[in-house]
C-alpha cells in the first residue's frame, strides 16, 4: 500500500524539473540577490508612491494651490528628464559613432574590392 503510493508519486514527479520538485516538497529554490533587490526596490517604490498620494490628500493646502505646485514639479521633472535623455542619447551616439565609421569603412573597402575584381574579370573576358 505504502509502496504503491510512493511509486505513484515518483511516476508523477518524473516529468518535473528541479524547481517543480522542490515546490511539490514544499521547498523553494534559492533566489539570487539581484531578484531579492529588484523585488525590494519595487515594493519600496510602491510604498513611496502610496505614501506620497496619502500626503497629498492630507496636505493642508487648497486644491488650486496644490495643482499649481504639482504642475510646477511636473514641468521641472519633464525638463530634467529631457536633459538627461539628451545626455544619454548623445553619449550613446558618441560611443557608437567610431564603431559605425569602422564598419562603414570596411563595407566601402569590400565594395571597392568587389568592383575591382568584377572589372578585372570583365576586362579579362573576351569581348564579342
What is the pLDDT tens value at each position of the chain, 128 positions in all? 788 887 887 777 777 777 777 777 777 777 788 888 999 999 999 999 999 888 877 878 787 888 888 889 889 989 999 999 998 888 888 887 777 777 777 777 777 777 766 655 555 555 54
The pLDDT, as a whole number, for residue 5 is: 84
C-alpha 102/C-alpha 26 separation (Å) is 56
Q: What is the DSSP secondary-structure string of 87-115? A: HHHHHHHHHHHHHHHHHHHHHHHHHHHHH
The pLDDT, as a whole number, for residue 122 is: 53
The pLDDT, as a whole number, for residue 111 is: 78
C-alpha 63/C-alpha 22 separation (Å) is 54
C-alpha 44/C-alpha 49 separation (Å) is 9
**Residue environment code for 30-62, b if the CB has 16+ CB neighbours within 10 A, otherwise e:** eeeeeeeeeeeeeeeeeeeeeeeeeeeeeeeee
The pLDDT, as a whole number, for residue 42 is: 95
The pLDDT, as a whole number, for residue 126 is: 55
The pLDDT, as a whole number, for residue 45 is: 95
pTM above 0.75, yes or no: no
Amino acid at each position: 500500500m505504502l509502496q504503491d503510493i510512493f511509486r505513484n508519486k515518483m511516476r508523477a514527479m518524473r516529468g518535473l524539473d528541479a524547481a517543480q520538485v522542490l515546490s511539490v516538497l514544499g521547498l523553494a529554490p534559492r533566489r539570487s540577490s539581484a531578484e531579492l533587490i529588484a523585488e525590494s526596490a519595487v515594493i519600496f517604490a510602491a510604498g513611496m508612491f502610496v505614501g506620497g498620494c496619502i500626503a497629498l490628500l492630507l496636505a493642508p493646502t487648497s486644491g488650486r494651490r496644490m495643482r499649481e505646485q504639482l504642475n510646477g514639479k511636473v514641468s521641472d521633472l519633464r525638463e530634467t528628464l529631457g536633459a538627461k535623455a539628451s545626455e544619454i542619447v548623445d553619449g550613446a551616439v558618441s560611443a557608437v559613432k567610431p564603431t559605425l565609421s569602422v564598419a562603414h569603412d570596411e563595407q566601402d573597402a569590400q565594395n571597392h574590392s568587389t568592383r575591382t575584381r568584377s572589372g578585372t574579370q570583365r576586362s579579362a573576358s573576351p569581348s564579342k
